[in-house]
Amino acid sequence: MKILGIETSCDESAVCLIDAQGDFDFASPKLHAKAGNNFQFQVLGNSLISQIAIHAQYGGVFPNLAKREHAKNLVPLLEQTLQQAETLLRGDASQKVTIAELQIILAREPDLYERLIVFLQKYAKPEIDAIAVTVGPGLEPALWVGINFARALNLVWNIPLVAVNHMEGHIVMSLMRHDNFQFTIPNFQKETHTPKRCALNAVRYPLLSLLISGGHTELVLSSKWHDYKIVGATRDDAVGEAFDKVARLLGLPYPGGPHISALAEMSRNNAEQTRKHAEKVPHRSASVSHGSAFHLPRPMLHDDTLDFSFAGLKTAVLRIVQAHSPLTDEMKSRIALEFEDAVTDVLVAKTMKAVDEYGIQTVLVGGGVSANTHIRAQLATQLATVDCKLLTPPPELATDNALMIALAGYFRAQNREFVNPDMLKANGNLKLA
């Protein structure tokens, strides 16, 4: 089954085409040693344009600016993806519908309409079995662009639509086996391009998903496939949002996560080198500081819930910045280290609490912040002590992409969970459960 994925939930415009077959048998909560072995997929084409550089000057994502960029990007991305997949055939597909019908669907995206008309007059209908599109959560103006694009393609090509929850996309992506995965396809010439066939991991239930991104911090319990129960969530800022806010306080660029992590790792390495040097020179060890000069709270670390709170952590950083301004580069590194350690301590502690409370067999981490190497390492260390499996996405696929939407859409399409195009709606606050 060939699935076209469309992703426009925030500041990444993305289109992907996969060819998938088989089942990922999650019917039983017990261990499946061969689960996923008969599921395979190929990435036939994949295209993505990041808007980070555009939004960085504003220190965050502007929804209407994101909407404009999605409308500009989607048709070129579709053309590039289908060219990679070698599914584009010359022909006029625009004759199958009236211009007026397309104008109605794309009334709010006139730039997208103009580009799509040119594309449809140039190419015939490609071989695609279903179109999967993100309907939420995310920025609603951005979501609507992808949804209306999918509706327009459905009208012209008569290809069924699948509505995909963005967070389920992150979950499916983290389930993927990536030991032999080739995300970037280096050569699309027919004689050399042979996409690798990939599969998904076997899992043991119950499964716990730690979803951490700019808009989400959630612990989601699954007792079986496509079964979700949110057992913990942030009460204010999401963890990725906290990273961005603290980065601004430290004068670091947007997005803040990678910059804070880089400074934290630098400070961590310096502390380790200092420690090793102190061990070689014992008489100096007493005067050497091995940790951060600053201390931040670990919000809700010891309460009885599995919920999170990061707004107070950001405020604590603000007070440190105000008390020590102007900050030196060393101070920024030490604050970044303490902030990343505080966030990691809370995420790991809450996850381990949920593992114990629900008898979790597999922990999955997804979302943009899951690319953080320190958080991954600390989770892996702690989960190993209780023989709990950890699944993470490839770093390059931790952020938003259309592959995860196509994969999630495939399993929904298998169940024939197609939607009426007129019923597709953007829901910025869409929940998994």
Q: What is the pLDDT of residues 39-66, one digit of tens each?
A: 889 999 999 999 888 888 777 788 889 9
> Does residue 268 carry a pLDDT above 70?
yes
Instruction: Write down the domain spans for the chain.
Output: 2-201+397-423, 207-360
* Residue 189: predicted pLDDT: 39
Give the pLDDT mean for 195-218. 89
Q: How confident is the model at residue 323 (pLDDT cuts 50, 70, 90)?
A: very high
Q: What's the CA dihedral at 367, 371, 372, 376 to 10 degrees?
A: 90
* Residue 34: predicted pLDDT: 46
* Residue 278: predicted pLDDT: 65
Q: How confident is the model at residue 409 (pLDDT cuts 50, 70, 90)?
A: very high
- Hey, what amino acid is at 94? S
* Residue 289: predicted pLDDT: 42
- CA atoms of 209 and 170, how far apart (whole Å): 10
Q: Is 207-360 in CATH node 3.30.420.40?
A: yes
Which of 112, 110, 129, 117 lies closest to 93, judged by CA?
117
- Hey, what amino acid is at 107? A
* Residue 272: predicted pLDDT: 67
* Residue 288: predicted pLDDT: 41
2-201+397-423 and 207-360 share one fold: yes
Percent of all residues in the chain with a pLDDT value above 70, rounded to a whole number: 86
Tens-digit pLDDT profile for residues 389-401: 999 998 889 999 9
* Residue 294: predicted pLDDT: 87
Tens-digit pLDDT profile for residues 121-153: 899 999 999 999 999 999 999 999 999 999 999
* Residue 186: predicted pLDDT: 40
Higher pLDDT residue, 55 or 105?
105
Higher pLDDT residue, 317 or 285?
317
* Residue 191: predicted pLDDT: 40
Q: How confident is the model at residue 32 (pLDDT cuts 50, 70, 90)?
A: very low
Which of 409, 345, 403 lies closest to 130, judged by CA?
409
Q: How many residues does the chain have?
A: 433
* Burial of 233 from C-beta contacts in 10 A (0-12 / 13-18 / 19+): middle
Q: What's the CA dihedral at 129, 49, 402, 37 to 10 degrees?
A: 100
* Residue 283: predicted pLDDT: 55
Q: How confident is the model at residue 89 (pLDDT cuts 50, 70, 90)?
A: confident
* Residue 354: predicted pLDDT: 98
**Tokens coding 407:** 């994969």
Enter the CATH code of domain 2-201+397-423: 3.30.420.40
Higher pLDDT residue, 340 or 277?
340
Query: What number of other Cβ atoms are within 10 A of residue 373's Cβ?
Result: 10
Give the pLDDT mean for 276-293. 54
